[in-house]
């Protein structure tokens, strides 16, 4: 009996690459305050690394300000150091258990750097999609050697390629939107 090709698995894995790049894009600064820029920052508290959102309350009271209210005063320094070491280029101002993160205006050079980083994230996602495509094509070849008909082989090759083209197009569209947003003054 010939095993059936599972296109849904390919689709699911490519969708994972797309969701991953969306998450990566959310962590990039665009000149406006957003709590999502802190999503990828972990803090060492109570012997384990946790996201800032699990040890503090994050608010965005103004377009250029993020506030972090740390729940335990013993963790304030750890949160502050994590933000400083994150590469965001933000220096927190500490007032007791409250950290204020004033976001400076992005200059043109920094905007271009962030735009290049977005392009790198997109390229990583495209590579992931292509790797999933390669796995799918290899599976089709194996099924062909196990007795799959040429018509089925051609059909599945086209399906996988169409899926690949669709996801790469979506990644490119997301990149263009994000770069426009980053470069907008």
Note whether 67 and 128 are same-domain residues.
no
Separation CA 181–CA 175 (nearest Å)? 10
Note whether 36 and 97 are same-domain residues.
yes
Does 1 fall in a domain?
Answer: no
Q: Are the CB atoms for 128 and 20 separated by under 8 Å?
A: yes
Note whether 96 and 111 are same-domain residues.
no
Strand, helix or coil for residue 93: strand
Predicted confidence (pLDDT) per residue in 95-152, tens digit: 888 888 887 777 788 788 888 888 999 999 999 999 999 999 999 999 888 888 889 8
Q: Are the CB atoms for 136 and 160 separated by under 8 Å?
A: yes
Note whether 175 and 115 are same-domain residues.
yes
What CATH number corresponds to the domain at position 163? 1.10.132.20
Predicted pLDDT of residue 135: 93
> What confidence tier does 168 reach under pLDDT thresholds 50, 70, 90?
very high
Note whether 161 and 134 are same-domain residues.
yes
Residues with Cβ within 8 Å of 34's Cβ and at least 6 positions away in sequence, in order, are 26, 60, 66
Q: Are the CB atoms for 174 and 122 separated by under 8 Å?
A: yes
Domain span holding position 163: 7-25+107-183
Does 176 fall in a domain?
Answer: yes
Secondary structure (H, E, C), 41-62:
CEEEECCEEEEHHHCEEEEEEE
Note whether 21 and 48 are same-domain residues.
no
Residue that finishes a domain, picked among 102, 136, 151: 102
Note whether 54 and 36 are same-domain residues.
yes
Q: How many Cα atoms sit within 13 Å of 128 on the Cβ side? A: 19
Q: What is the pTM of this model?
A: 0.70
């Amino acid at each position: 009996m010939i095993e059936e090709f599972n296109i849904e698995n390919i689709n699911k894995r490519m969708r994972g690459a797309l969701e991953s790049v969306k998450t990566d894009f959310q962590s990039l600064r665009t000149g406006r305050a957003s709590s999502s820029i802190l999503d990828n920052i972990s803090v060492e508290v109570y012997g384990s690394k946790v996201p800032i959102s699990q040890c503090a309350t994050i608010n965005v009271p103004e377009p250029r300000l993020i506030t972090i209210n740390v729940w335990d005063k013993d963790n304030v320094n750890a949160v502050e150091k994590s933000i400083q070491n994150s590469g965001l280029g933000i220096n927190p101002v500490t007032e007791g258990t409250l950290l204020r993160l004033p976001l400076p205006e992005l200059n043109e050079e920094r905007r271009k750097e962030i735009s290049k980083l977005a392009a790198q994230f997109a390229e990583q996602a495209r590579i992931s999609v292509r790797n999933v495509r390669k796995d799918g094509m290899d599976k089709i070849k194996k099924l062909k050697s196990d007795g799959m008909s040429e018509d089925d082989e051609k059909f599945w090759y086209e399906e996988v390629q169409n899926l690949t083209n669709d996801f790469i197009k979506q990644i490119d569209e997301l990149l263009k939107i994000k770069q426009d947003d980053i470069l907008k003054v």
